[in-house]
Amino acid sequence: MFNLSTDPLGGLPITAQAEVVGPVGGFGWLLSLNGGAPKQLRIKYVEVDPATPLILSIAYPLGTSFTITAHAAYCYFDANYSCQEDFIEVNSLTSVRYSEGNTYYFDETKGLLYLRIIMPPQNFAGNKFFTASPTWHLWEYDTPGKYGSGWAIDRFSRVNITLPKFAYGPYLTINADCTTSDAFCSERPLETEPEICSSGYEQVAYDKCCMVINSFVCEFFPSLAPTTSPPTPVPNPNLVINQGFENGTDNWFPFGQTTIITQESSNPYTGSYSVLVTGRTSSWNGAAQDLLPALQPVLQTGTTTYNMSCWVRLKNTSSAYFKLTLTKTDDKGQVWTNVRENISNSWTYVSGSITITLTGIMTEAILYTEGPVGVEFYLDDVIVVEQ
């Protein structure tokens, strides 16, 4: 399933429900519009398995050139993630079919534009998971999501069946360089269709061609070799809200009467912001978040292990210890567990696992940062997930 519209604002849907739905992985889709060739086209709400080669073909006037761009939603460009990808023109349909979904081919003899439709992440267009700089990929089910939270592409799983689940926000734009008449190119495209079957064959099924003179001799459209390992369960979500302080200090509060937490744009580790913690007069003073609403529904009586991590950078000294601590109160009393690391005035990754044993009813669960008295530090990308 994917949504198509003929202008970048999402108007003029192709169907009444603004959706195109049907089989994928065979010969592909040829899109023909009564008005001709669209000057601008937006594609969104894509649900396509990563191993599925879905090819979209659109007829355009000969000589048309294109600018095709993928856009992420709710995205801030940084050293780890990009927000936009400009497609590259290649010289064959085969190159498009076996691409990672960021290429296109225009057949100058038939006037047909081809591109592969893949399912994108919601909030980034490229990442550093496979490369030294943010790069576009054919994202698989096992590609981690932004800042290590969840997966890059969403899915729905039940009883060993996994289906892709589209994300709201990201979209693909096709802009044709042609003179226009309303929303369409003034010159109409050729009345032509892609060549599906080999010479002497005819199409008898969605992904099958047979010889005209001998219907028992057939060819099947080649499918892509699987590029993904079997889908794994969705990881447990991050219990921390506003982990990167992109929404200011929402859901965070200063732990200590004189402590101050301030959103900062000058020293983010990722995204556009981090938080600066100052005014600390006790070692336990820092930035804190109440995790009781997140832990209470899921933490059962017994023992559970959590992975905790964050990025920290000192401001007013070159070296100090740092703790990320969770304090929990239940029927047995109050207990403190933490992960600790010596940090510097460069961004330092602090991580480790903690084990929580619950007895009876939990009445308090607060995550907070610690360090030597008077030390000021920047904090970013705080994560707490069940192991």
Helix, strand or coil, per DSSP, at residue 95? helix
Answer yes or no: is pLDDT of 68 > 80. yes
Distances (CA, A) of 290 to 252, 318, 336, 383: 8, 30, 14, 13
Compute the average pLDDT of residues 226-242: 60
At residue 26 the predicted structure's pLDDT band, cuts being 50, 70 and 90, is low
At residue 77 the predicted structure's pLDDT band, cuts being 50, 70 and 90, is confident
At residue 21 the predicted structure's pLDDT band, cuts being 50, 70 and 90, is low
Distance of alpha carbon 325 from alpha carbon 340, whole angstroms: 9
At residue 228 the predicted structure's pLDDT band, cuts being 50, 70 and 90, is very low
Answer yes or no: is pLDDT of 229 > 50. no
Distance spanning both ends of the chain, measured CA to CA:
34
Q: What share of the chain is helix, strand, coil (3-state, %, to 5)?
A: 5, 45, 55
pLDDT of residue 197: 74
Contact call for residues 387 and 353 (beta carbons, < 8 A): yes
pLDDT of residue 29: 67
pLDDT of residue 126: 92
Answer yes or no: is pLDDT of 18 > 60. no
Q: Which residue has the tokens 């010596």?
A: 342
pLDDT of residue 13: 37
Task: Say which amino acid occupies 97.
Answer: R
pLDDT of residue 231: 44
Residue 272 structure tokens: 């556009």
Q: What is the CATH superfamily name and number for domain 253-386?
A: Galactose-binding domain-like (2.60.120.260)
pLDDT in tens, 198-226: 778 888 876 778 888 877 777 766 544 43
State the pTM of this model. Answer: 0.54
Domain-wise residue ranges, the chain: 3-199, 253-386
Distances (CA, A) of 51 to 146, 230, 275, 317: 22, 11, 40, 50
Answer yes or no: is pLDDT of 372 > 80. yes
Q: What is the DSSP string of 95-161?
A: HHHTS-S-EEEEETTTTEEEEEE-PPPSS-SEESSSSSS-B-----TTSB-GGGSSBSS-EEEETTE
pLDDT of residue 12: 36
pLDDT of residue 378: 96
pLDDT of residue 274: 93
Task: Compute the chain's Rg from CA coordinates.
Answer: 26
Contact call for residues 384 and 324 (beta carbons, < 8 A): no
Task: Say which amino acid occupies 261.
Answer: I
pLDDT of residue 261: 96
Higher pLDDT, 309 or 11: 309
